[in-house]
Chains A and B, each alone.
Chain A
Amino acid sequence: MTSYDDADPVIFPAGAATQTSAAQAASEEWDAVIVGGGMAGSIVAEQLSQSGHKVLIVEAGPGKDLDLAEYESYLSRFYGAVVKDNQSPYPFNPNARMPRSTDTMPVGPDTPRDDFYLVQEDKYCSDTTFTRVLGGTSMHWEGKALRMLPEDFDLRTKYGQGLNWPLSYDDLEPYYRQAEAELGVSAEVEDQAYLGMHFPEGYVFPMHRMPPSYLDQTVARGVDGMRVNLADDDYTLRVRSFPQARNGVPNAAYDGGKGFVPVGAVSTSQVEEGERCQGNTNCVPICPVQAKYHAGKTLTKALSRGNVTIVTQAVASKVEIDEQDRRVTGITIKNYHSLDSESYDTYTVKGTVYVLCAHAIENARLMLASDMQRMSRSKLIGCNLMDHAYLLSWGLLPEPAGTMRGTSCTSGITDLRGGRFRGTQAGFGVDIHNDGWGWATGSPYTDLVELVDKQGLNGKELRRTLGNRISRQLLLAFMIDLLPERSNTVTVDERYKDALGNLKPVVSLKIPPYTMRGAAYARKLASDIFKRLGAEEMTAYDKDRYSAVEHDGQWYNIVGGNHLAGTHIMGTDPTTSVVDHTQQSWDHDNLYLVGPGSLPSIGTSNISLTMAALAYRSSTHIVRYLRAAKAPATVRG
């Protein structure tokens, strides 16, 4: 029996009154049907609810109970998990599968059908993931909330690479601020005004920056002032704090001196928790006290207005389209009965406008499974899949540096995110990981196994050695720009279906030479930094891994960043893009595709803040669309 067992005749437990049954949802007419209750879907729902619209959210995950009890069940599942990967807190759900980094392997038709969700037939496989529970990937994201650089919006014009956006940094700037307020970003303007990023006069972030960790300070001693030359330009490096969507110290100067009130935990009964960040270090995959933003915080506001309703356990399986006028007429959902059963009922939910917010891969998968490429003028649905290419470098510092204290990542090096060198090689940001080598080697578990099994240590000696080793670990993660390539794709294939008979996403992602030139440079830079810090180089890449990529005769391991984007990119022309600058589909008038799939490039910033800013921007357009669509028709006399 799982806690999601449906034996109880009450459809939803107490505290979830705004949920509805799929049958009820299908019997009503909605102003907007939103597919996906993640960050983008929650923001759009909240914004539409503010203008009084009647909204249905279709959610694939169980999400039966929006209260703390469910959150805590995630926590206890995480604490009890042997492998603490991104999905470890969330229940296994055969009906709405999630990719797991531990599943990464090339898949052929003869591969057992249930061992994987992301189908990758190539030799290189990405271990990238996304989460399919209410709240979406915001349930496991790290909470870094960087803006994109102004130059990221016109890379093609500036450096002859990638694509230009139909928007500029200045167009998006007000929405960045709106997103920063919603996510509760902790940062200082003086730290973030670099490489052209600018803020209105007097702007302060909602909260002050997270304090840099002792490890950050140790790395800064070696790095600050370090000079590098790239493509004839000199760059001086320094360790800089990252903006983070987690509760810190509210800035009293925020909003013209009104200050900022941080949002605590989501709960339906009065059991407050979730104040400031306590530095638990397991921001990924779940913050124990909800100091980190997740979409549930926005969703709660939307639901409290009474005009937003959720139907859960409902996997969108087809976008229904009128072949004549190409308008969307409904979303067909498979409403499964429980996590343990493959039985389901099929319904079609209907609205005036439809908003797909199911993340880059699921949005594309759903549209392709609905045969929408046939009607697409650009034929670009599912193309241009992007993620950040991550290159990890790890070394052992000469002295304990407090690794494992503080949030996952508080600072990094951002000076090489932009510059003229991007004409020939990818830019990158560098994260200093407070959680040691975990991502690269599986530390501290692998350290423990090695010290016991290979070195035969036990007792005090084991404790001392383990503590000493872990507190000296330095992991630098290079987040490298991956430009849109038409051949990097999400497709569907009749050979691969999930338990409900939905087509699984088939992913083909290759790391292009432009990105690998950035990776090769990053590798050398990591070695130089380790030398300056007196750290022992421990980095070792394995050419037999699925993450192995060869470049200039060297092998590297390139791991996924879970920053998936690009599968329905925005542009100015229906023949070269899938959505316009409002994220409205070029091909279907009453369809908006809101989420990272619309980004024409991702530069070197984690995508969530930009996605959230775009969701706010699109919401204003969707509200306008609904107002026009619902306006009484003028009868000419």
Chain B
Amino acid sequence: MSVPEPDPSQESKIKTIEELHEYLYKGLQLEHATLPPYLTALYSLQPGRNADAWHVIRVVAVEEMLHLTLVANVLNAVGGTPDLTKSGFVPDYPTYLPCGPDYFQVHLLPFSPDALDTFLKIEKPAQAPDEESRLVPVDWAALGLTSDGAAPPSEKMAEFEQSGTILGLVPGEPTQRFLSIGEFYEEIMRGINYLEDQARTAGTTIFTGDPARQVTPEYFYSGGGDVIEVTGRDSAVAALTLVAEQGEGLHGGIYDSQDEIAHYYRFQQLEKGKFYQKGDEPGAPSGPDLHVDWTAVYPVKPDVKLADLEGDPEIHTAAKEFNQSYAAFLRNINLAYNGRPDLLLKAVWEMFRIRDTMNRLIRNPLSGESGLNAGPTFEI
């Protein structure tokens, strides 16, 4: 699938390299924000009983890691510095993510129709019908963040942004947001084109990053798409297009340019009980049956917090240990994105530790919670 040629009449909101860096940081934050809910649902599945659901969620989670890596490659290529350790990088769940004209809440839930509904909202394709509707004002009252619906004062706004309470705001215009994540990436691509054109006129380029900071296919590969090394405009656009297509099926395709099924359609298969196959129309998968057992799931307490676990000291300790190992994982990934791509190899076994420590929580009932189990709190 080809990306439409940039239309010179579509003006870029991104005017400086700093703004581009800020947009890309927000991209990293958005890509990561989906991981805790996906991982919580994935590991809530009882082993061996939901293989189809397991594989669908797993491959999406792996591809989110790929997206994170692709965005980091773009940021590095344009001379930025990825930082996954900033306070507020990991959202405070439930958090708000944009979907179409509305924000919706993303909870940490066990695998369930509700969780699936959230996943579909996260990945829902939405392309603005025209230039004017790409941006929508944030409805503060609906979010419950201000009582009168007016935008919060700037210091309050900064607090929301820093705590990861609300994601996807337009950098520099925090009362607006993009209609979809796809439109957000579209804006970044416009910015890259605009800035690169400017730079070229001046005889330079914005792709000034050290090539050694790129994560190359040696360090990251999976069944779900390949890493793209970003060295210039074409590869940057290719990387961002892959992120957008693979997520929401931007431009309406079930399959992306690397022949992977977009996440929205992957998840929809769980709802429909059928796999997609080539030639299918969106919404009507016609491949083999897909089996989901909604009961073969550990009953994880939604949005569990450390404070909820104080009645069970051993679980409380395990949850704190989980948060520490997740923070360490992010620190190492961050080092990998800052010139040490070989550290991604180490991340393989760190993922095992994350899985095992999550299992310790998810498979343990909480006392006084009548049938609910513990879960990871992701309070980083």
Contacts and interface: CB of A to CB of B under 8 A. Distances in A.
Chain B associates with chain A: yes
Interface of A: 14-15, 68-69, 72, 76, 208, 249-252, 259, 261-262, 264-265, 268-276, 278-279
A269 B59 CA distance: 12
B261 A270 contact: yes
Nearest to B229: A252
B350 to A, nearest CB: 11
Contact of B58 (A14, A208, A251, A273): A273
Nearest to A15: B288
Interface stretch (B106-114, B220-228, B308-316, B330-338): B220-228
B287 A274 contact: no
A274 B217 contact: no
B323 to A, nearest CB: 24
Nearest to B224: A272
Interface in B187-222: 216-219, 221-222
Contacts of A269: 275, 287-288, 290
B48 interface: yes
Nearest to B54: A271
A279 B226 CA distance: 22
Contact of A249 (B48, B218, B223, B288): B218
Contacts of A208: 218
B222 A272 contact: yes
A268 B288 contact: yes
Nearest to B51: A72
B290 to A, nearest CB: 8
A608 B227 CA distance: 32
Nearest to A279: B349
A-B pairs, 7 with minimum CB distance: A272-B223, A271-B55, A14-B288, A264-B223, A275-B222, A269-B275, A249-B218
Nearest to A14: B288
Contacts of A250: 217-218, 221
Contacts of B51: 68-69, 72
Contact of B59 (A15, A270, A279): A270
Contact of B223 (A15, A274, A278): A274
A107 to B, nearest CB: 37
Contacts of B266: 270
B223 A252 contact: no
A15 B52 CA distance: 14
Nearest to A274: B223
B275 A259 contact: no
Given A14-B289, A76-B48, A279-B349, A273 B55 contact: yes
B348 interface: yes
A268 B159 CA distance: 48
Nearest to A67: B288
B348 A276 contact: yes
B59 A272 contact: yes
Given A68-B51, A262-B221, A273-B58, 8 more contacts: A14-B287, A14-B288, A249-B219, A269-B287, A269-B290, A270-B275, A272-B223, A272-B224
Contacts of A261: 217, 221, 226
Contacts of B288: 14-15, 268-269
B56 interface: yes
A259 B287 contact: no
Interface residues of B, number: 30
B59 A271 contact: yes
B223 A273 contact: yes
A250 B218 CA distance: 5
Contact of A275 (B55, B221, B290): B221
A116 B216 CA distance: 51
A259 B217 contact: yes
A278 B352 contact: yes
Given A14-B288, A249-B218, A250-B217, A270 B352 contact: no
B14 to A, nearest CB: 33
A542 to B, nearest CB: 38
Interface string B269-294: 00000011000000000011110000
Contacts of A270: 59, 260-261, 266, 275-276
Contacts of A271: 52, 55-56, 58-59
Interface string B216-244: 11110111101000000000000000000
A284 B275 CA distance: 32
A15 B56 CA distance: 17
Nearest to A265: B223
A273 B352 CA distance: 15
A264 B222 contact: yes
A351 B52 CA distance: 39
Contacts of A268: 288
B6 to A, nearest CB: 30
24 contacts: A15-B288, A72-B48, A76-B48, A249-B218, A250-B218, A259-B217, A264-B222, A264-B223, A265-B223, A269-B287, A270-B261, A270-B266, A270-B275, A270-B276, A271-B52, A271-B59, A272-B62, A272-B224, A273-B55, A273-B59, A273-B223, A275-B221, A275-B222, A279-B349
Contacts of A276: 221, 345, 348
A14 B290 CA distance: 11
Contacts of B290: 269
Contacts of B226: 261
B348 A249 contact: no
Contacts of B287: 14, 269
A252 B218 contact: yes
Most buried by B among A271, A274, A279: A271
A72 B224 CA distance: 19
Contacts of A275: 221-223
A521 B263 CA distance: 60
A314 to B, nearest CB: 24
A274 B221 CA distance: 10
Given A14-B288, A68-B55, A269-B287, A278 B221 contact: no
Interface string B319-352: 0000000000000000000000000010011001
Nearest to B52: A271
Contacts of A251: 218
Contacts of A252: 216-218
A278 B349 contact: yes
B305 to A, nearest CB: 32
A76 to B, nearest CB: 6
B287 to A, nearest CB: 7
Nearest to A269: B275
Given A249-B219, A252-B216, A272-B222, A278 B348 contact: yes
Contacts of B62: 272
Nearest to A262: B221
A265 B348 CA distance: 17
A72 B275 CA distance: 18
A51 B288 CA distance: 31
A271 B266 CA distance: 10
Nearest to A69: B51
A251 B217 CA distance: 9
A264 B55 CA distance: 14
Contacts of A14: 287-289
Contacts of A274: 223
A268 B52 CA distance: 12
Contacts of A69: 51
B41 to A, nearest CB: 16
Contacts of B275: 269-270
Contacts of A76: 48
A105 B374 CA distance: 52
Contacts of B216: 252
A610 B275 CA distance: 40
A68 B289 CA distance: 14
A251 B221 CA distance: 13
Contacts of A272: 55, 59, 62, 222-224
Nearest to B277: A269
Nearest to B345: A249
A152 to B, nearest CB: 33
Contacts of B260: 270
Most buried by A among B48, B62, B216: B48
Nearest to A68: B55
